[in-house]
Amino acid sequence: MTSTSGSSEHSPVETAAVVAHGRIDVRDAVERVRAVAEGASVKVVDEPETAQLAVAVGGDGTILRTLARVLGLGIPVIGINFGRVGFLASIAPERLEDDLARVFAGEYRTIEQPTLVAQLDGEVLVAVNDVVVTSSILGRMIELGWSIAGEDLGVVSCDGMICSTPSGSTAYNLSNGGPVLVRGLDAMAITFIAPHSLEARPLVVPRGAELTVRNATPDVEAAVLIDGHRSGDLAPERALSIRLGEQRSLLATLPETTFFGRYRETFTS
Told to judge if 159 belongs to the known catalytic residues of this protein, a careful annotator would answer no
Same domain, 161 and 234: yes
Q: How far apart are CA 131 and CA 139, in angstroms?
A: 20
Residue 18 is predicted with a pLDDT of: 97
- Give the chain's end-to-end CA distance (angstroms, integer): 25
Number of domains comprising the chain: 2
- With H, G, I as helix, E, B as strand and everything else as coil, classify residue 67: helix
Mean pLDDT by 10 residues, the chain (269 residues): 52 96 82 97 95 95 92 96 88 96 97 96 94 93 96 96 95 93 94 91 96 96 95 96 96 94 84
Q: Is residue 7 part of a domain?
A: no
- Given CA atoms 159, 263, 210, 200 in this order, what sign does their dihedral have? negative
Same domain, 85 and 130: no
Instruction: Give 26-37 pLDDT, tens digit per residue.
Output: 899 999 999 999
Please give the residue range of the domain that contains residue 237.
115-246
pTM comes to 0.89
Q: Using alpha carbons, select from 124, 112, 118 the residue that is nearest to residue 166.
A: 112
Same domain, 81 and 130: no
Work out the angle at residue 235's Cα, subtended by the Cα atoms of residues 114 and 127, and round it to the nearest 5 degrees: 15
DSSP output for 170-208: GTHHHHTTPPPPPTT--EEEEEEES-S-SS---EEEETT
Residue 195 is predicted with a pLDDT of: 95
The burial class, CB within 10 Å (0-12 / 13-18 / 19+), for 237 is: exposed
Q: Is residue 5 part of a domain?
A: no
**53 close to 16: Cβ distance less than 8 angstroms:** yes
Same domain, 129 and 207: yes
Q: Is residue 65 part of a domain?
A: yes
Q: Catalytic one among 60, 99, 159, 227? A: 60
Q: Is residue 135 part of a domain?
A: yes
The CATH number assigned to the domain holding 27 equals: 3.40.50.10330
- With H, G, I as helix, E, B as strand and everything else as coil, classify residue 268: helix
Residue 8 is predicted with a pLDDT of: 60
Same domain, 97 and 50: yes
Same domain, 150 and 48: no
Residue 23 is predicted with a pLDDT of: 65
